[in-house]
């Protein structure tokens, strides 16, 4: 299990964790995704909480999570933005999604999601607790999409999906339960959890309808979208 967690962290973060572990160790246990959220959210939360000004702390915290993840999931969000804004049929949208160039759709979606995340975080009573909750629930959304999102092409997502099982969503949800120990109200956590589920369902529905399935870009985008949704919902439900 330790090697599985190490493989997860090597996949989801840029932390210097020594020699690479066989990715298969994580691929067969993708329900472990939320554990990486405690690491990224915890480290970024410590930085944000150390800054006395909440606006600057929120900006630093968001920047930290992006750096810790190598902006890998943000890249997926930008690709989704281009895919959503492409005019034409499914093939045109898939080409736009997979194109490495950044277009207007990518900038529009990326800026909107980051602004919402910042607005929610800087309004939170506890920047650290909010970041941890948002990161963990974002990883839950990734675990759910990995289990239920049919791939439309070969890639990392198809590799993980092949080894995932529908019941993986249950241990992934259980790994979110330590969030109850955070200084957040039950109504806030309930709203955040509901937001994570709704985002996963939304991305799954969009993927099936517009692209014929899910790929790694959509899974990564679900994390960015969930983070923003959770940070806003934590404030609105307070």
Q: How far apart are CA 233 and CA 206, in angstroms?
A: 22
Which burial class, exposed, middle or buried, applies to 181 when counting CB atoms under 10 A from its CB (0-12, 13-18, 19+)? exposed
Whether pLDDT at 91 is above 90: no
Predicted local confidence at residue 82, as pLDDT: 87
Report CA-CA distances (Å) from 125 to 91, 153, 222, 230: 45, 42, 25, 14
Q: Choose the weakest-confidence range: 89-93, 141-145, 206-210.
A: 89-93
Q: Which of 40, 34, 46 is nearest to 70 (CA)?
A: 40
- CA dihedral 132→134→137→139, nearest 10 degrees, is -80
Q: What average pLDDT score do residues 178-199 get?
A: 96
Q: Which domain holds residue 119?
A: 2-236
Q: Which of 63, 128, 201, 235 is nearest to 225 (CA)?
A: 201
Instruction: Indicate the pLDDT class of residue 100, thresholds 50, 70 and 90.
Output: confident
Predicted local confidence at residue 83, as pLDDT: 87
Phi, psi of 151 (to 5 degrees): -75, 145
Which SS3 state, helix, strand or coil, does residue 26 take?
A: helix
Whether pLDDT at 93 is above 90: no
Contact 144, 172 (CB under 8 A): yes
What is the percent of the chain with per-residue pLDDT over 70, rounded to a whole number?
A: 100
pLDDT tens-digit map of 151-183: 998 989 999 999 999 999 999 999 999 999 999
pLDDT tens-digit map of 204-215: 999 999 999 999
Predicted local confidence at residue 18, as pLDDT: 83
Q: How far apart are CA 48 and CA 52, in angstroms?
A: 8
Contact 165, 147 (CB under 8 A): yes
Instruction: Indicate the pLDDT class of residue 197, thresholds 50, 70 and 90.
Output: very high
Predicted local confidence at residue 231, as pLDDT: 97
Instruction: Indicate the pLDDT class of residue 145, thresholds 50, 70 and 90.
Output: very high
Taking the CA of residue 46 as centre, how many other CA atoms within 13 Å lie in the half-sphere pointing to its CB? 5
∠ Cα 196 200 203 (to 5°) = 135
Contact 43, 64 (CB under 8 A): yes
3-class secondary structure per residue, 180-231: HHCCCCHHHHHHHHHHHHHHHHHHHHHHHHHHCCECHHHHHHHHHHHHHHHH
Whether pLDDT at 1 is above 80: no
Q: What is the pTM of this model?
A: 0.94
Predicted local confidence at residue 29, as pLDDT: 95
Predicted local confidence at residue 178, as pLDDT: 97
Residue with tokens 């492409």: 86
**Residues with Cβ < 8 Å from 47, sequence gap 6 or more?**
57, 60, 61, 64
Whether pLDDT at 33 is above 80: yes
Instruction: For residue 70, give both structure tokens.
Output: 């190598």
The number of distinct structural domains making up the chain is: 1
């Amino acid at each position: 299990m330790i090697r599985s967690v190490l493989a997860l962290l090597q996949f989801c973060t840029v932390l210097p964790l020594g020699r690479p572990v066989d990715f298969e160790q994580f691929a067969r246990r993708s329900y472990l995704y939320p554990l990486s959220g405690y690491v990224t959210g915890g480290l970024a939360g410590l930085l944000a909480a150390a800054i006395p000004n909440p606006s600057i702390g929120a900006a630093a915290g968001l920047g930290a999570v992006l750096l810790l993840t190598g902006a890998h999931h943000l890249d997926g969000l930008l690709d989704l933005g281009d895919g959503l804004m492409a005019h034409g049929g499914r093939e045109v949208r898939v080409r736009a999604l997979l194109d490495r160039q950044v277009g207007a759709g990518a900038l529009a979606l990326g800026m909107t999601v980051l602004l919402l995340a910042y607005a929610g975080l800087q309004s939170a009573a506890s920047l650290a607790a909010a970041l941890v909750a948002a990161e963990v629930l974002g990883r839950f959304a990734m675990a759910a999409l990995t289990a239920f999102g049919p791939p439309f092409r070969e890639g990392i997502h198809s590799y993980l999906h092949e080894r995932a099982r529908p019941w993986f969503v249950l241990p992934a949800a259980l790994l979110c339960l330590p969030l109850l120990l955070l200084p957040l109200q039950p109504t806030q956590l309930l709203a955040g959890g509901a937001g994570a589920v709704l985002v996963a369902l939304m991305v799954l529905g969009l993927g099936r309808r517009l692209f014929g399935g899910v790929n790694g870009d959509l899974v990564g985008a679900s994390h960015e979208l969930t983070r923003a949704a959770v940070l806003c919902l934590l404030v609105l439900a307070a």
